[in-house]
Structure 1
């Protein structure tokens, strides 16, 4: 089919070049031109959706779905075409993304089909990626998760979308997170998927707040069924099975929540409850991409029946990641991010912060990074080049239809301004990813695991935190009086030494051990400090640290004996972060097959 129309494929691009002036609607001439050809872009599949007579794209709602829809896929590879078949459905999807002009959709085929060579299924998602001017952040994360062996990671393909002949732009056709064959393929009748969703979860029919942290979790999907009348779990054997699974996962989440809330968490009990590898890999994907929503929404957990452990996954929703969120820590490639979201974002769950407080979790993260993640992370810049080559022509059409390049981000002031060209937008993303993965290659792997804690005004000693986590308080106007820092494990000999500058005392006279940096019991504020490594540690690693200072906020990271904080200004340090980094990024080794 594609070959038959190859000679006319330049017409739509030419029409777009001369015709589209705004992001609100495509001119009728453009729609007519596109409707007359098989493909919108020569190298990109086109999904054609025809609504029932008299129904327009503007009338598609999130609920209920529009039925009686004809769906077709025309591919440059004729063997991957999907013929125009009726009996389909379409509806809107998403929360914030649904409020944007370029809408995301869910489509359902009459019968399961392996669209564009992906695993066969009925239901598919069309991600608009409208706030992401690279069009590729979701795909980067989905593919990375699949490459590192996270089960049920969504497959995806870029497509052009037409509805009733009107060109709607470039979309990512992807698998839906659902308990189905070829998706989250769980076998137990009581298997369920839960979603951590502090943003929108209380609007769902089935949700609860965890006992300790008050995090909102919802019932995302199930092997069985949910009742046609909310709460009538006795409706059928399938709804009863779902009730068993839902009650069970609630119990396990509450148990995990309580264990993580302890000042000294019981790792043996935690690791007996969760599939540690899945949580570690989920953490590393979220940390690498710096997902601002990693502890707020679209974080899925599943259990394949009551005898199964709690698993993290599949991955989903990376619209606000990889440097396109500039507020606070959101775009700094050297940030220690997901492990601090409970402090950095007021609505975040403490899940990742509390997991990372366990030294054994940090050790597992170091091991998994070395064995599985570092290599694939190092390949991301070249993969971005490949993605650009794949999607560039379709992207050109997309931004003629939706002219957002060079304008303020659809994420608002937190997103800055889009680059003036697609090439520059992708180049900026590539540079950000290259910097981020290079930093993480220094921060994870064969590095010492640090544990430290802060002594805070009126609160005393707070719980211990690990490498790069925030110790102290932010936004409470409390002075940090002291902190203690211990090296737990290290592949090299040596120690950590410190100097402190304390209210009314000034600088300590000499370098000291890190058992106590500052003072306790005297009501004096810590104003500045310096840290350094000795012996083999100093040869191989840098110690990096920073302070959150009264009236200033977070200062830049400093290293190896430089001063964090202030002197002569009578300003209190309120919180600190400390980490040890490799001096050079180790060359990652390809995982063993």
Structure 2
């Protein structure tokens, strides 16, 4: 129905719009069951009907009664499919949008409003997207999704569209150095769960030219997609989990942006981390240290034609030959060696599926046991015998760790834990002073006994609240240990506290840390990564913060609030330097050579991947061996391969060697020698 309301007239007069036309729609209940609520206005007499700067959409106004308005995702969809986010994830636990208008003619962004929102605000997406030279006649949709189902109900009371002269227009996308990913879901708002169908297109001009969403895609496929994350779901810029699929909905394993082939992927949305870099720093360092960490690629994302800013495409943590490379555990594997692996577990919250068990020992909260989640396979995919096996094996590990003989290499924790992985995991968690470390998203895994009977810690995950980006649990400071501080804020296993009571662990930690500080953890190397990636991101960051104008605004739980992207990078670098200085002065243990043959697989020698199949790359994280002789012996001491003058970083062919466990030794002319265990898988 077309009419001119008092609010619409007043708004148009204040904004200076002539030839104003207003259309109103009816309201209704905003369902609280996770379903999408569409409210429509049919327009057939807009004149002129072509939307442009001369005459186009200038505002959309509505009134909503709803408790806890941060649950609401509110969008306007034009007759030609332009999808414009007006508001999402705002207002926390407060109520209502009272006579709220969205327009591009005011300086105040909806981020700066306070519920009950009353007056005129700028939306997240420019209304100029609608004024694109296409017809404005047809069905306009106000789409509202209550993202937190079965909690708070509400109603749309009324809504109005206003058209006039001097209308805004969207700026053309200028192209980007980063790859572009376009997601389409027929304008359906992506829910938390279940996954919905969609389509993905990837644009990546590897010739060095800029990328545009109008280019020919280098990859495209069907997909199933959903919102992911825990606390991050409160933010308007969402994280997503998606699966690439064929036209029939079957999993489609594919390489994306050079990452190894898989079908399960993450699109991580840096929002509270205004540098965009904190997750990537942790994963980059983890991989450089020889441990698997998720591969990442920067990109810019469009969703249903709406620009959503800078994202990271990331590998989802799962068992896979190119990710956590352990044996696949099938439901029928209930006997013998097959029962013993592989299992991927994590310390985390209840997943809501009952897919977990409890530790037999309290964490830092008295009388509260940490919760261990079956990650891959998930609990519902495990046979009861498999659950019994891995939970009992875990309890044996903790009994050995907390027992009187825990330092004994044969009967203590070292009989169950790969110390190398525990130390590397500790170093990165502590470097980041990660408030979530050890208590959330703390992954560890176990392969079959015939391959490796030890628990390995990792992969690293979820560092967006690390590196000084948090204002609680003492984690904003460069001083202090995370394994102590975070325990005061949430229930945390006491594993690392106990490890550090063992002088052997302390000394290995000291040697490993000192060695890494000369290589991948050098201050120069880390700052170079921040500077070079920040430079690559500069133009993309500007676009991102036009879309999400949160610079100079507090976003939970920021400790530092920069006015510019450069200030955010400078703070991150200053924090990293301070943290490294503090750790240099406070890392426990002593590092002294005990023989000419260094038992140094936890210090210097890195074989990657390990386990390997047809080849592996050998790296020496030390300056004393840049060329060396190589020897590979089987577990019986028989020499099976020898090679002279191997270069640091060289790939070694092992196609001729059968599956099994081997010892790799490297030595230089002056007698320096290093050893590492290599597992060759089938």
TM-score normalised by length of structure 2? 0.56
CA distance 1:274–1:27, change in 2 (3 Å): same
2:228 corresponds to: 93
1:219 to 370, 374, 378: 374
1:26 positional shift: 0.7
CA contact (8 A) 1:98 1:104 kept: yes
Q: Distance in 2 between matches of 1:322 and 1:32?
A: 42
Higher strand share: 2
Which runs of 5 or more residues in structure 2 are unaligned? Answer: 1-103, 112-122, 133-168, 246-251, 330-340, 363-368, 594-620, 626-647, 649-682
Distance in 1, matches of 2:315 and 2:572, equals 24
Q: Does 1:148 align with 2:283?
A: no
Aligned-residue Cα RMSD (Å) equals: 3.1
Residue deviations 1:379-424 (CA, integer Å, cap 9, x gap): 111110011012121111111111111111322xxx3352111100
Aligned length: 414
**Contact in 1 for aligned 2:354/2:379 (Cα 8 Å):** no
Query: Would the alpha carbon gap of residues 259 and 426 (structure 1) be closer, same or farther in structure 2, given more than 3 Å must change?
Result: same
Whether the 8 Å CA contact 2:310–2:544 is kept in 1: the answer is yes
Instruction: Compute the displacement of 1:127 (Å).
Output: 0.6
Question: Is 2:355 the counterpart of 1:206?
Answer: yes
How do residues 137-536 of structure 1 correspond to structure 2 at under 5 angstroms?
137-151=278-292, 153-189=293-329, 190-197=341-348, 200-201=349-350, 203-213=352-362, 214-222=369-377, 227=380, 239-240=382-383, 243-262=384-403, 265-268=406-409, 269-306=412-449, 308-335=453-480, 337-341=481-485, 343-372=487-516, 374-378=518-522, 379-411=525-557, 415-444=558-587, 448=589
2:193 alignment counterpart: 63
8 Å CA contact 1:298–1:317 kept in 2: the answer is: yes
| Residue number in structure 2 paired with 1:106 | 241
Q: Judge conservation of contact 1:209–1:216 (CA < 8 Å) in 2.
A: yes
Moved more, 140-149 or 355-364: 355-364
- Give distance in 2, aligned partners of 1:201 and 1:315: 19
Unaligned runs of 5+ in 1: 1-15, 228-232, 234-238, 450-488, 492-587
Preserved CA contact (<8 Å) 1:210 1:216: yes
Deviation at 1:348, TM superposition (A): 2.0
Per-residue deviation at 1:249? 2.7
Q: What is the distance in 2 between the residues matched to 1:591 and 1:26?
A: 56
Deviation at 1:188, TM superposition (A): 4.2
The 2-side partners of 1:320 and 1:388 are apart by: 18
Q: Distance in 2 between matches of 1:351 and 1:186?
A: 23
Q: 1:168 Cα deviation (Å)?
A: 1.1
Higher relative contact order (CA 8 A, sep 6+): 1
Task: Give the CA deviation at 1:31.
Answer: 7.7
Q: 1:245: how far off?
A: 4.4
Other-structure match for 1:75: 204
Counterpart Cα distance in 1 of 2:217 and 2:449: 39
Q: 1:448 deviation in Å? A: 4.9
Picking from 19, 25, 29, the partner of 2:128 is 29
Cα offset, 1:87, TM superposition? 2.3
Q: Could you say which residue in structure 1 is the equivalent of 2:62?
A: none
Distance, in Å, in 2 between the alignment partners of 1:31 and 1:46 is: 22
- The residue correspondences of 1:576-591 to structure 2 (distance < 5 A) are none
Over alpha carbons, which structure has the higher Rg? 2
Deviates more, 1:282-291 or 1:402-411: 402-411
Contact 1:448 1:490 in 2 (8 A): no
Describe the SS at the equivalent of 1:383.
Answer: helix
- Per-residue deviation, residues 196-223 of structure 1 (Å, max 9, x unmatched): 01xx22633211110012110101112x
Q: TM-score, normalised by structure 1?
A: 0.64
Deviation at 1:36, TM superposition (A): 10
Greater helix content: 1
